[in-house]
Amino acid sequence: MNRILIIEDDMTINSLLRSIIEKSGYTADSAYNGADGLTMCMHEDYSLILLDLMLPEKSGEDIIKELRRINTTPIIVLSAKDETQNRIELLRLGADDYITKPFDIDEVLLRIQAVLRRTAQQETNEIVFREFVIKTDSKRVFINDEELVCTATEYAILELLMKNPAKIFSKRTLYEIIMGEDYLQEDNTMNVHISNLRKKIAAHTDNKYIETVYGMGYRLIK
């Protein structure tokens, strides 16, 4: 059974999350400050961590940094901060997802399910999505058992989208995550890579996979 740690100093929010999570069939533990939360992470085996950022004794950012030195336990950040740059930095630190407070409890449960599902797939070194199979260990992509030959950047885009099938990525966010540098001005790089990737996919299937969400960015078509 999946075991989830909730690190949240607001006792009401912590209690609510724990109650809902346990009613959904998971087991849950609670920590109310960063120091205790980190200690529990170090000594117990968790399937996923729900992590607030503004914690007494040790911040959520510091917990992510320390945990990523020793393990890959999935982390979903809960925070009142909603700046794009803040989210990008947390993803770079090693967070797996980000939910802005105040949050909808149904969304939290869906995000938990999605992250746990991705983790299970990654443990087999495969990501499976409709006709696609991505071999994450060898960085190879297959559509209906035919190999899709990608550049390194195209592969990184496809892997990111398929690890986050419900998420819309802006051109800026894609650029900063994939390229690993700040997006300083209007740049057509991601548009070109997406266009090339679509053409390669179209050579193997009539089904569409990458959707442009007008004014927002790109996401997978389920």
> From the CB of residue 3, how many other CB atoms can be counted at a distance below 10 Å?
14
- Which of 97, 101, 74 is CA-nearest to residue 87? 97
pLDDT over 90 for what percent of the chain? 45
Average pLDDT, the chain: 88
Residue 76's beta-bridge partner residues?
Answer: 50, 97
pLDDT of residue 121: 62
User: What integer pLDDT is reported at residue 123 of this predicted model?
Assistant: 60
Span 92-138, pLDDT tens digits: 888 888 888 888 888 899 989 888 887 776 666 788 888 999 988 88
Q: How confident is the model at residue 10 (pLDDT cuts 50, 70, 90)?
A: very high
Q: Which residues contact 184 (CB under 8 A, 6 or more apart)?
A: none
* Lowest-confidence segment of 7-21, 140-154, 158-172 by average pLDDT: 158-172
Of 148, 128, 152, which Cα lies nearest the Cα of 201? 148
185 or 173: which leads in pLDDT: 173
The pLDDT assigned to 72 comes to 78
Cα radius of gyration (the chain): 18
pLDDT given at position 175:
87
What backbone phi and psi angles, to 5 degrees, belong to 194? -65, -45
The burial of 131, by beta-carbon neighbours within 10 Å (0-12 exposed, 13-18 middle, 19 or more buried), is given as: middle
- Beta-carbon contacts of residue 69 (< 8 Å; ≥ 6 apart): none
Summarize pLDDT for 55-76 with one digit per residue, the tens.
999 999 999 988 887 777 899 9
* Confidence bin at 85 (pLDDT 50/70/90): low
CA angle, corner 98, sides to 158 and 175, nearest 5? 40
Instruction: Give me the DSSP letters along 74-94.
Output: -EEEEES---HHHHHHHHHHT
Question: CA-to-CA distance for 26 and 200, rounded, in angstroms?
Answer: 41
Among 22, 93, 88, smallest CA distance to 62 is for 93
pLDDT at residue 122, as a whole number:
61
For position 82, what pLDDT does the model report? 63
